[in-house]
């Protein structure tokens, strides 16, 4: 059986070994020894475990940074989700067009859209021949500024134009409306609807008379100036003031020569 002295010596030796293992930080043990900093650039006075931990973290952080920079240098591919690919969009619009074209109302919509570049899109209603010809004049005079507006016809104008088609001079491909139509022309030319086209030529498009002429005045600026000065009719003076101004702007290329579109349907060939 060990004596008290042997037990005391064994405990003291164990204490000393533990104190050395922990770096001399136990009370009453040896002087604590200073551990060499494993990573002085991260802050001095670190214990080895702390230094190694920071060194490990620093290495991982640097790897993440390098990886991020490498990924950011790569071009990002443009990926279209399947439901909005260009082919799908084109195919979708084609189906919409086919659906519209298969119904009478849809055909009217498609026809209206096709006319937009020439006739305009913002509808401007007219009530009669007088309002129709005045609106056409203003749109033509406005040149490119008036192109967004679509001048709508009316029953009064449509009736007048149909009458001119009925009494026009027929040709192989269509017909024309001028003095050659005889007394009918002289009877109708004084009506406001005559200013929608005046004298015109048309082609027979499967039974529809389509006017191909430009919309302008056939008279020179000098002729209209003479009318303003010498014609006793106030109405003729007013008309020549507007027509003369239109001719001036037409000569410099400003006016719109197709204010109601090209190939306008003047009526039915019958």
pLDDT in tens, 40-97: 444 555 555 566 656 766 776 677 667 666 666 666 555 555 555 556 665 666 676 6
What average pLDDT does the segment 183-210 reach? 93
168 part of a folded domain: yes
Secondary structure, 3-state, the chain: CCCHHHHHHHHHHHHHHHHHHCCCCCCCCCCCCCCCCCCHHHCCCCCHHHHHHHHHHHHHHHHHHHHHHHHHHCCCCCCCCHHHCHHHHHHHHHHHHHHHHCCHHHHHHHHHHHHHHHHCCEEECCCCHHHHHHHHHHHHHCHHHHCCEEECCCHHHHHHHHHHHHCCEECCCEEEECHHHCHHHHHHCCCCCHHHHCCEEEEEECCEEEECCCCCCCCCHHHHHHHHHHCCCHHHHHHHHHHHHHHHHHHCCCCCCCCCCCCEEEEECC
241 part of a folded domain: no
90 part of a folded domain: no
Structure confidence at residue 109 (pLDDT): 67
Structure tokens given for 264: 């306008």
**Number of independent structural domains in the chain:** 1
Structure confidence at residue 115 (pLDDT): 67
9 part of a folded domain: no
Q: Which of 85-89, 110-114, 123-127, 260-264 has the highest mean pLDDT?
A: 123-127
113 part of a folded domain: no
Q: What is the pTM of this model?
A: 0.57
Q: Which domain holds residue 176?
A: 121-216+255-268
Structure confidence at residue 41 (pLDDT): 47
The yes-or-no verdict on residue 174 having pLDDT over 60 is: yes
Structure tokens given for 210: 């389509």
Q: Specify which residues 177 forms β-bridges with.
A: 200
200 part of a folded domain: yes
181 part of a folded domain: yes
pLDDT > 90: percent of the chain: 35
238 part of a folded domain: no
């Amino acid at each position: 059986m060990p004596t008290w002295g042997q037990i005391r010596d064994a405990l003291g030796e164990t204490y000393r070994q533990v104190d050395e293992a922990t770096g001399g930080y136990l009370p009453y043990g040896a002087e604590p020894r200073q551990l060499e900093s494993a990573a002085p650039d991260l802050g001095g006075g670190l214990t080895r475990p702390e230094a190694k931990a920071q060194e490990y973290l620093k290495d991982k952080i640097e790897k993440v940074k390098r990886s991020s920079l490498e990924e950011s240098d790569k071009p990002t591919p443009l990926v279209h989700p399947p439901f909005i690919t260009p082919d799908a969009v084109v195919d979708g619009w084609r189906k919409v067009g086919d659906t519209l074209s298969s119904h009478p109302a849809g055909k009217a919509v498609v026809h209206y859209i096709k006319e937009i570049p020439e006739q305009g899109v913002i509808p401007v209603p007219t009530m009669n021949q007088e309002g129709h010809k005045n609106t056409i004049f203003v749109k033509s005079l406005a040149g490119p500024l008036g192109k967004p507006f679509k001048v709508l016809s009316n029953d009064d104008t449509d009736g007048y134009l149909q009458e001119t088609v009925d009494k026009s001079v027929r040709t192989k491909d269509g017909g024309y409306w001028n003095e050659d139509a005889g007394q009918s022309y002289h009877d109708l030319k004084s009506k406001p609807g005559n200013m929608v086209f005046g004298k015109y030529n048309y082609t027979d498009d499967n039974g529809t008379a389509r006017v191909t002429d430009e919309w302008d005045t056939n008279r020179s600026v000098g002729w209209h100036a003479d009318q303003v000065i010498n014609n006793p009719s106030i109405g003729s003076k007013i008309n020549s003031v507007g027509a003369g101004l239109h001719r001036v702007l037409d000569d410099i290329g400003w006016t719109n020569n197709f204010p109601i579109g090209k190939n306008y349907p003047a009526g039915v060939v019958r």
